[in-house]
Amino acid sequence: MSVRMTGAGARAWLSDTTGYRYAETQPDGRLWPAIPTAIMNVWKKVAEVSREPDSCLVNFYGEGTKMGLHQDRVEAEHLWPVVSISLGDEALFRVGGVERRDPTKSIWLRSGDVVVLTGTSRLAYHGIDRVKFRSSGLLPKGGRINVTLRIAS
Ligand code: MD6
Ligand code: FE
């Protein structure tokens, strides 16, 4: 099973027949909604940079969903942090180094946890090995929402 996604902000990550890309409009032509103030406030508290994010991705993990080891490197510049907020069910987050073969560490992300990939960790490989379905009562039908904030361009 793969994640279901949506987004907010000036541009968001879209998957269509041309592949994956940042798009300034939704598939139906509308702009993405604004990034909610409460989410923006998390960035302001932890990102420690002068700019605000222009992209907010929202991933939903249902039962059995994983995300393979990847780098976040599609953004125009890699010096800006990526901030990620976990909501709902607990997830096993694996993070390694800038080479895929580098050793990794795993930590359980709980609802409300915030991960910042910045500095030497900005291009670290990372992924979600598994989600402990229904480990949190936040979402009535279970599952996990991950919100990531980026300066994409
Ligand atoms: C997730 N997170 O937590 C997947 N990317 O569901 C990411 O892919 C991620 O947590 C960049 C920075 C932090 C992250
Ligand atoms: Fe990522």
Residue ranges of domains in the chain: 4-150
- Residue whose CA lies nearest to ligand 1 atom number 11: 82
Instruction: Tell me what the mean pLDDT of segment 49-62 comes to.
Output: 97
Q: How far apart are CA 76 and CA 128, in angstroms?
A: 24
Quick one: what percent of the chain has pLDDT higher than 90? 88
| Strand ranges in the chain using DSSP code E only, listed in sequence order | 4-9, 12-16, 19-23, 55-61, 67-70, 82-88, 90-95, 105-109, 114-117, 126-132, 144-150
**Domain spanning 4-150: which CATH class is it, in words?**
mainly beta
The sign one gets for the Cα dihedral 75, 81, 85, 90 is positive
Which residue has 């879209």 as its token pair? Answer: 14
Q: What is the pLDDT of residue 32?
A: 98
Do 83 and 42 form a contact (C-beta atoms < 8 A)? yes
Q: What is the pLDDT of residue 111?
A: 98
Mutate to test the pocket of ligand 1, among 71, 75, 82 (most ligand atoms within 8 A of CB): 82
Q: What is the pLDDT of residue 16?
A: 77
Look up the pTM and report it: 0.94
Mutate to test the pocket of ligand 1, among 146, 149, 150 (most ligand atoms within 8 A of CB): 146
Q: Please work out whether the CB of residue 111 comes within 6 Å of at least one atom of ligand 1.
A: no
Q: Please work out whether the CB of residue 126 comes within 6 Å of at least one atom of ligand 1.
A: yes
- Residue whose CA lies nearest to ligand 1 atom number 14: 84
